[in-house]
Amino acid sequence: MFHLLQLMRLLGLQMLVREMLNNSIKQIKPTMKLGISPFGVWRNKSKDPDGSETHGGQTNYDDLYADVVLWMQKGWIDYLMPQLYWEHNHHAASFNTLMPWWYGHCYKRHMYYGLGLYRMTNARKGPWASAHELLWQMRDIREQCPNTGYCFYSATCFDKVRGPIKDSIQYGIAKYPALVPPMVWLDSVAPAAPKLSIVPKGKEAELSWQELNPSKEPLRYVVYRFNNNEPVNLDRNDRIISIQQSTEFKDTDTRHHGHCTYVVTALDRMWNESKASNVVTGN
């Protein structure tokens, strides 16, 4: 009975603090993103019908007194980054169980998955002895959980793991850049489209653009290149050749792409993307 009362008091206090923290942050800076990286199991289904089909010895709700799912549901945090450091088909907390479970409890907030790169550093056998498990997890996230992402715990481990893991990520599964999905509940107003011009110079093309930014908000720009008269399609992230702050770009690789068509978009600090600029063509 005492433990139950203590749990209720702690959960109530944490909810109050979490709501106050979010409100205080947003009053000072409305576009500030607030998130948390919780333990990978919220509750086991054996204790809660809404929990995951896991057998975690520790959970956020029962042991850490953190009802992170409620915080997302109430809109008190902007993103979660659950620590999914287990492999597929793990006996107590499998990745393929927890990944869709968390995705189903994001409540239109952002979900990023923490992946256990550190487990590869000293592995000599088992699922973490090669890059297969990590790449499998990354593919599952991309294919099954749209508009989410992943991070690695920790990035310093890239210099410690054996095998060509960095090349597999950089030139394989993460070959093309991706834009961060905007948090439209914080800001949904995109900047104006730039006005683009081009100066072809032999096998190069020099692009420059005027920014229409009366509020002087810090902006980034996305340069898209389309080949041989293919239609402009801003969903084609494989056509992004630069994400930058400068209003100039020199394309030195035009000879490998036939007739090149370019557009530029503007991104605000919340990653709202403008409409495409006017279209210009190179060689």
| 73-84: pLDDT as tens digits | 999 999 999 999
> Would you say 200 and 282 are in contact if contact means Cβ atoms under 8 Å apart?
yes
Q: Say what the alpha-carbon torsion angle 91, 92, 97, 102 is, to the nearest 10 degrees.
A: -160
Helix, strand, coil shares of the chain, percent, nearest 5, are 30, 20, 50
How far, in Å, CA of 200 to CA of 205, rounded? 4
Measure CA of the first residue to CA of the last residue in the chain; give whole Å: 77
**Statement: residue 259 has pLDDT above 90:** no
Entry pTM: 0.86
> Residue 200's pLDDT is what?
80
> Residue 173's pLDDT is what?
80
**Statement: residue 18 has pLDDT above 80:** no
How far, in Å, CA of 229 to CA of 8, rounded? 63
**Statement: residue 12 has pLDDT above 70:** no
**Statement: residue 91 has pLDDT above 80:** yes
**Statement: residue 1 has pLDDT above 60:** no
| 207-257: pLDDT as tens digits | 999 988 888 889 999 999 998 889 999 999 999 999 999 999 999 877 777
> Would you say 248 and 264 are in contact if contact means Cβ atoms under 8 Å apart?
no
> Residue 13's pLDDT is what?
56
| 32-53: pLDDT as tens digits | 999 999 999 999 999 999 999 9
> Residue 9's pLDDT is what?
52
How far, in Å, CA of 73 to CA of 78, rounded? 10
Q: How is residue 212 written in tokens?
A: 């229409």
**Statement: residue 160 has pLDDT above 60:** yes
| CA count, 13 A, side-chain hemisphere, 261 | 13
> Residue 172's pLDDT is what?
78
Q: How is residue 263 written in tokens?
A: 């557009």
How far, in Å, CA of 96 to CA of 84, rounded? 10
How far, in Å, CA of 268 to CA of 271, rounded? 5
Of 58, 46, 37, 18, the residue nearest 102 (C-alpha)? 37
Q: How is residue 215 written in tokens?
A: 């509020």
> What is the average pLDDT score of the chain?
89
